[in-house]
Structure 1
Amino acid sequence: MPAQTAPVITPYGAFEADCPVRLATDLFASTWLPVIVYMLREGPMRPGDLREQIGGISQKVLTQTLRRMEQFTLVERRRYAEAPPRVEYELTAAGRDLLVPIYALADWAERHGPAVTAALPD
């Protein structure tokens, strides 16, 4: 596999709060955000369906993560005037672009995960 060149990043000092690299790192520090982005890759989903498909995520954490993603313009929330009300979340263009590093990370995990796991202490 050819070596990748590092992107040119505007200097922001010691990773100041407005640094885009810091923002990206913070996004991936969230346990559930990349998982939710991956789950929404094929189109809009309702929160209950997301929770069921993901497994292991509480309703509270799912709601908090979706709100954060909406605040960062990674997802769009659509509310339908029905009884009972129906809500769906869909990735925005920025959210879909996050699939690129998520797929790259999954590829890395596939190639190196067994060695990393084997090196962990019992």
Structure 2
Amino acid sequence: MTVEVAQAQFAPYGPYTADCPARLGVDLFGNSWLPVVVFELRNGPQRHSELFTAIGGISQKMLTQTLRRMEQMALLRRQRYAEAPPRVEYELTAAGRDLLVPIDALATWVDRHGAAVTTAMYGDPDD
């Protein structure tokens, strides 16, 4: 069975060379927490503590680093409110919301093939 995949053109870049813009996508998904944070922010702004509670397995330090990186990349906005105590919320930008498209595509792929990949890697859990 042959599957046709649309290929983006990155002239004058070669595929995945050091200066190719396509590497940004690989870098974004290479940070395992970034897609998780994007997905968690899909329904609107949240505070750091809300994100920490909703995302299992992430440390406070890693969440802070991921949020800072995402802010530097213009994937989210950090809104600080002048209140006592101070309140900070994080919200996806348009670029951050657009990342939900490939995240959803990856989730669809995992739904279709995740069990087979897991079985191939670790064996059948029923054996």
| AA partner of residue 35 (structure 1) | V
Query: 1:97 and 1:3 mapped to 2: Cα distance?
Result: 24
Alpha-carbon deviations, 1:19-40, whole Å to 9, x = none?
Answer: 2211110110001000000000
Asked if 1:15 is matched to 2:17, the reply is: yes
Q: How does 1:58-69 map to 2 (within 5 A)?
A: 58-69=59-70
Query: 2:20 and 2:41 mapped to 1: Cα distance?
Result: 27
Alpha-carbon deviations, 1:29-53, whole Å to 9, x = none?
Answer: 0010000000000100001000000
| AA partner of residue 15 (structure 1) | T
| 80-89 or 3-12, which deviates more | 3-12
Query: 2:56 and 2:98 mapped to 1: Cα distance?
Result: 24
Shift of 1:121: 3.6
Q: Which residue of 1 aligns with 2:98?
A: 97
**Secondary structure in structure 1 of the residue aligned to 2:46:** coil
Q: Which residue of 2 aligns with 1:70?
A: 71
| AA partner of residue 54 (structure 1) | I
**Secondary structure in structure 2 of the residue aligned to 1:87:** strand
Shift of 1:3: 4.3
> Aligned-pair RMSD on alpha carbons?
1.5
Gaps in structure 2 of 5+ consecutive residues: none
Runs of 4+ in 1 over 6 A off after TM superposition: none
| AA partner of residue 49 (structure 1) | E
Does the 8 A contact of 2:10 with 2:20 survive in 1?
no
Gaps in structure 1 of 5+ consecutive residues: none
| AA partner of residue 56 (structure 2) | G
Q: Which residue of 2 aligns with 1:80?
A: 81
Query: 2:20 and 2:28 mapped to 1: Cα distance?
Result: 13
Q: Which residue of 1 aligns with 2:115?
A: 114
* TM norm structure 2: 0.88
* TM norm structure 1: 0.92
| Aligned-residue identity in percent | 63
